[in-house]
Every structure is written in structure tokens, then in C-alpha cells.
Amino acid sequence: MAEVPSIDIFLTNTLTRRKERFEPLRPPEVRMYVCGPTVYNYVHIGNARVAVVFDVLYRFLRAMGYRVTYVHNYTDVDDKILRAAEESGEPPERIAAKFIRAYEEDMAALGVLPATVRPRATEHIHDMVRLIERLIARGMAYVVDGDVYFRVRAFPEYGKLSGQPPEKLLAGARVEVDPRKEDPLDFALWKKAKPGEPTWDAPWSAGRPGWHIECSAMSMKYLGETFDIHGGGEDLIFPHHENEIAQSEGATGNPFVRVWMHVGFVTVGDEKMSKSLGNVVLVRDLLRQSEGSAIRLFLLGTHYRSPLVFRFEAIVQAEQALFRLRLAYAEAERALEGKGIEAKEEDVAGLLRPFWEALADDLNTPNALKVLYETARSVYSLLKLEDQEGRQRLAAVREALRRMADVLGIDLSLSDVELTEEEAALLAEREKARQARDFAKADSLREELVRRGLIVEDTPTGTRVRRRRS
């Protein structure tokens, strides 16, 4: 059994604006909540980035020996879902079910593990009602004509996550206009039903919850009033996560979350990706062109807190990097097949140490990928060593590659490519040209193979071919 390394983990905490040593409240247990999608449409690459980043954190913490409870929710009642239902003529619950299913299909294709708990907002209305009742009882919320609002001025620390006082937040916010509110910053906890909307019973009216209250109710139900990590996209810092803190701590009087983590925006060119600009890249569309592991390599190639510039050229580069990783792993497998050689655990641990250190430094996936690529490149020099010691070193590299890829969620399996007779003949003719050092002809034949949708890679142990997705 692999020994768990003793290593300190540091994470950047949005709340304190510092990189801090991570210490869970009840080790070896880690409790983590990440805001999931509002399920009214297919998800885009920005949603995927958040899911992949926290999937790697989940995998890494488990590899470090922690027992992780990971909660990832679905917002399945919301104004956007109601609008989509009205436009399509389908019931809101059918819209939500359709896009939850689509999201889970897309995430599975990206290699994202299912969270420990995947709650839906509509399954936890009673928990939200009870939380709102606590807020009203403590003077943190008030009822107006069946609607319930959170009283922001009753929570003096409001703005501590975003680092802005309420006055500045009000100036920069798109605040819901309602003259019945005591303060423009007060936000809805419960909305009295309008005709045709889905409703649930509550002491103040038949209606539905506001957006922010659901995450407080669901996270505390499964993780307790104080838990270790809360994550999401950078766009959620204000107002969503700011409001979560206010209503949760307002109800309990206890700190809500120890470490807040936020993933940077995805930009297309110089612009933030958004539906209003029409520059959204859907995961479903991207998966038709490239496979999930290549998309993961692209997403993990930039540190999670930095903006990520989306370019199709970068996806192609990630595909090439993935193919080289798979080739190296396959070569190691081939050389060791049937030899009965096992890796020494101390050799594997030495290879993994810089990888663990990279991830322990605020989940630095770009540096972790550098270690992965360097380890893969070492395969070819080790293939030349045919003695017992060389083969044991190769076995250690193979095992280290397998464990690194598992934590990063990368599939290293190399599929055989079926070629037509004509394609096989072109490939054989190109190989003859290379052997004859007729490189102009070899390049011309490579271009012909590319036009047919084949990518040709020349490696130290021979030529390998893969087929590009259409």
C-alpha cells in the first residue's frame, strides 16, 4: 500500500486574502461545498473549469489520506429556469431534470468524479424555511407582504469576503429594486408566488426560496454550521457568497466557512465569456471536437486563481501533449510486459514528491503538469537500460505516471487506431521515405494523412498515429 506523504498543504483564502496552511476542523475529515450550476441550459467551459479544479482538489485531498465529504449542489428552482420553461412550454421540473442529466454526462466525459452528495434545491425547501425562521426570530430578517428579506445592516461584517463596505457594494451592484425593502442592499430569502409559478408552503406565504438561502441550508445540513472549504467561480464572491456568509452566520452566530476558494474567469480574447456577448463555449460542443482528458489538460495548465484565455489552438496543443503522455506510458507498459518487475515504493515516492509539493502549494496544477511531463519524457532514456536496475526505475516511472494521472483525472490509455487500406499504404510509404531520408516526400505524405484526419507523431521508438475528432 502506498505511503501517504507528510506534507503541509497551503490554500489561498479569499476571506483573509492570504495563502494559509490548511488545517481541517476535524482531521482526518475534510468537509467541502462547491456551488453547482443553475440547470436551465447546457454548461460552458467556465462551469467546467470550476468543476475540474475542485475535482482535482477532491482527488488530491483523498490521496493525502483525508476522508472528504464533498457536496456539490444543483439550483433547480430559479428565475432563469422559469423563463426557460415559459419559452419552451415545458414544466420547470422537466427543464431542470434535462439539464442536470446533461451536466452529469458532460462532467463524466471530462473525468469529473461524482461528489459525495449532490443535493437539489427543491429537495431541501423545508431546510430553507427553518433557516429563514431562525433569521426572523433573531431579527436578521423581516416579512413584507409574504416576501422575506435579509436585513443587511443587522450583520455588521457584511462585505468582509469581497473586502468592500456596504456603501461601495451598493454603488457597484445591480440591486433588485423594491420600495418595500428597509435598505436597497437587503436581499430576498423568500419570494411570494406569482401566478403560474411552482410554490411551496411557508408560514409567511406560499412561494419559493431566493437563490442565496439554498446554499446555506444545504451546506449546513450535510457539513455542519462550520466547515472547511467553500468554493465556486470568482463571479460568486459578491453577492452570492457574501450573502451566504451573512445569512449563515446571522442565523447561527458561528463562523460559516474556514477557507473560501474562487476560480478565475474564462476569457475569450480580451473579453470575459458571457451569454450577453455571445462568446460562450459550451462543454457539449467542445467534447464533439476533443476528448475530456485533453480539455482537462488545457484547463489545468493555468493556475486556478488566474484568468484563463480560451483558444481552440490551445486545445489542439493539449491534445498533442495528451498523446505524448499516452505514448510514453504505453512504451513503459510494453517494455515491462511479462517481466514481473515491481516498482520500489521509495523510488515511486521520490518521483511523486515534487508533484505533491506542487499541488500542496495552493493547488498549483501548472507546476504539477510540468512534473508529469518531465516524468513521461524520462521513459525514453530508461528504455535504453535493459538491466534489472534500469527496468525497476522504469517500473517506478510507470507507477508514478499512473498515480499522477489519477489525481489529475487524466486517462492514459492509448486506443488503437483502425486505418483504411489506403491510409495504411500512405503510412508505410511515408516510413520508407523517412528511412531513405527523403524528408520532403515524408512531409508531403504526412500532410496528406493530416487532410484525412490523422495525426502522425514520430517517437524514439517508432511512428504513432491518432485520429482527430471531427
Q: Is 389 annotated as a binding residue?
A: no
Q: How many helices (H) and strands (E) does the chain have?
A: 15, 16
Give how far the C-alpha of residue 262 lies from the chain's centroid of Cα atoms, to the nearest Å. Answer: 11
Pairing of strands 29-34, 18-21: unpaired
Sheet of strand 308-310, all strands in order from the earlier edge strand to the far edge = 271-272, 266-268, 308-310
φ/ψ bin of 232: left (φ > 0), alpha (ψ from -120 to 50), beta (otherwise): left
| 305/237 Cα distance (integer angstroms) | 13
| Cis peptide preceding 239, ω within 30 of 0 | yes
Q: Is 240 annotated as a binding residue?
A: yes
Q: Is 346 annotated as a binding residue?
A: no
Cβ-contact 64, 8 below 8 angstroms: no
Q: Is 333 annotated as a binding residue?
A: no
φ/ψ bin of 455: left (φ > 0), alpha (ψ from -120 to 50), beta (otherwise): beta
Q: Is 35 annotated as a binding residue?
A: yes
Residues 335, 338, 341, 343, CA torsion sign: positive
| Phi, psi angles (nearest 5°) of residue 259 | -130, 125
Q: How far is CA 460 from CA 168, 377, 380, in A?
A: 60, 11, 7
| 400/415 Cα distance (integer angstroms) | 21
| Cis peptide preceding 28, ω within 30 of 0 | yes
| 174/185 Cα distance (integer angstroms) | 10
DSSP class of 235 = G
Find the DSSP H helices in 173-311: 211-223, 242-252, 283-289, 292-300
DSSP class of 108 = H
Pairing of strands 308-310, 271-272: unpaired
Binding residue ranges for Zn(2+): 35, 215, 240, 244
Binding residue ranges: 35, 215, 240, 244, 275
Binding residue ranges for ATP: 275
